Amino acid sequence: MPPHTPAEGGEYRMTAPPLLTILRYPDPRLHTVAQPVQAVDERIRALIERMLATMYDANGIGLAATQVDVHERLVVIDVSEERNQPLVLINPVIEWASPETRKGEEGCLSVPGIYDGVERSIAVKVRALDGAGQSRVIEAEGLLAVCIQHEMDHLMGKVFVEYLSPLKQGRIKTKMVKAQREATRA
């Protein structure tokens, strides 16, 4: 949730933290392996707020710190319809993944406009710290399980397009480089 600031009359109004820049594939920084968060302190809590604001602004359902050029093991997710149930995973570890898998279409805020099928476990059990630094175990299935696996790939320096054939990867890379060139000219 965004931080609160007092408004006139002692009421509170919501203020959004500054948005972060999302790295775009094929930026080599997306391939950096994230390091563990050393302490859940004010810096990390401020980063969580900015990541959530950035994810919501981009209409995403998940964002890894790697995608905003912070190479620490931190993920924010919200797969709720109302976009009001943020999940924070700090130093997440998948303790179990179902042997059953399903191929589903995925997209990524770092690869805008590109969607393709990726095979993922249909359920996972993850241990992580939450935004308060408390250890949690999350058992997830369906969209949440897919999102967790997708975002944890980012922490390992992997983008979902790397699951695709070399031909598709090449086409996507060419398309993204061209889009970046055109955006720079505008």
Burial 8-28 (b: 16+ CB within 10 A, else e): eeeeeeeeebeebebbbbbbe
The answer to whether the annotation marks 108 as part of a ligand binding site is yes
The answer to whether the annotation marks 150 as part of a ligand binding site is yes
The model's pLDDT over 99-116, given as tens digits with 9 standing for 90+, comes to: 999 999 999 999 999 999
Picking from 46, 31, 105, 98, the residue whose alpha carbon sits closest to that of residue 76 is 46
Rounded-to-integer distance, Cα 74 and Cα 65, Å: 5
Q: Which of 82, 141, 151, 162 is catalytic?
A: 151
pLDDT at 5 over 70: no
Residue 26, preceding bond cis, omega within 30 degrees? yes
The CA–CA distances, whole Å, from 32 to 23, 24, 79, 118 equal: 12, 13, 26, 21
Predicted local confidence at residue 51, as pLDDT: 98
151 is catalytic: yes
Could you tell me the domains of the chain? 4-185 (3.90.45.10)
Q: Is 108 exposed, middle or buried (0-12, 13-18, 19+ CB in 10 A)?
A: buried
Q: Is 129 exposed, middle or buried (0-12, 13-18, 19+ CB in 10 A)?
A: buried
Predicted local confidence at residue 13, as pLDDT: 43
The answer to whether the annotation marks 147 as part of a ligand binding site is no
Rounded-to-integer distance, Cα 81 and Cα 48, Å: 20
Largest CA distance in the chain: 61
The model's pLDDT over 54-78, given as tens digits with 9 standing for 90+, comes to: 999 999 999 999 999 999 999 999 9
